[in-house]
Chain A
Amino acid sequence: DQQVKQNSPSLSVQEGRISILNCDYTNSMFDYFLWYKKYPAEGPTFLISISSIKDKNEDGRFTVFLNKSAKHLSLHIVPSQPGDSAVYFCAASPTGGFKTIFGAGTRLFVKA
């Protein structure tokens, strides 16, 4: 049973436009959410996070929105750049502890 779901395996966006990557979760115990970016032949790199007490966190071109009632979060990248082309993993952690559950990932293609 997937507790973190990324229903879009891939997304293609024109350079300069907005990329929106979506993620849904089922476990109400999750209170910390993260986005990781992964290039081929490299490990995932932490991008941005949000705790359940917030509904928005912004870092430069990257903004994460959290809708707790819908158990949904999204990552907005504005403006998108060709270097943003990678696989993006949504992840969630429950209160306390060390576990993190990952979604299946969305491959983003940003076309020049």
Chain B
Amino acid sequence: DTEVTQTPKHLVMGMTNKKSLKCEQHMGHRAMYWYKQKAKKPPELMFVYSYEKLSINESVPSRFSPECPNSSLLNLHLHALQPEDSALYLCASKAREGLEPQHFGDGTRLSIL
């Protein structure tokens, strides 16, 4: 069982829809991440929240909007996505800055029609 929970597991949406991905962890971790992974590629960093503040945005298009309502929750709001945004979206958390591994959720498989 993963300690980082992502919902939904699968999402199909049209290009005009608005949807949100949700991530939750109860390990007391203070850093949370969003990654995008395409088939046969490594996870690509999108956003990092540290102590509930956005600390890294890897030049992600504004149609992806992250939100960290509290230290346990991380959302990714989606609007006007393109077919090339279809991918696996992974959430991860880490206890603190420095030499610590990340803990990943099982991801949301997103398909844009």
- Chain A contact residues, CB within 8 Å of chain B: 4, 9, 31-32, 34, 36, 41-46, 49, 51, 89, 93, 96-100, 102-105
Contact = CB atoms under 8 A, between A and B. Distances in A.
B105 A96 contact: no
Interface string B1-30: 010101000000000000000000000000
A102 B42 contact: yes
A41 to B, nearest CB: 7
Interface of B: 2, 4, 6, 31, 33, 40-43, 45, 48, 50, 55-56, 90, 92, 94, 97-99, 101-107
Given A49-B99, A98-B94, A44 B45 contact: no
A104 B42 CA distance: 5
B73 to A, nearest CB: 17
B48 A42 contact: no
A36 B103 CA distance: 10
Nearest to A87: B40
B109 to A, nearest CB: 8
Nearest to A97: B97
B4 A43 contact: yes
Interface centre among B40, B41, B43, B107 (most CB of A within 10 A): B43
B99 A51 contact: yes
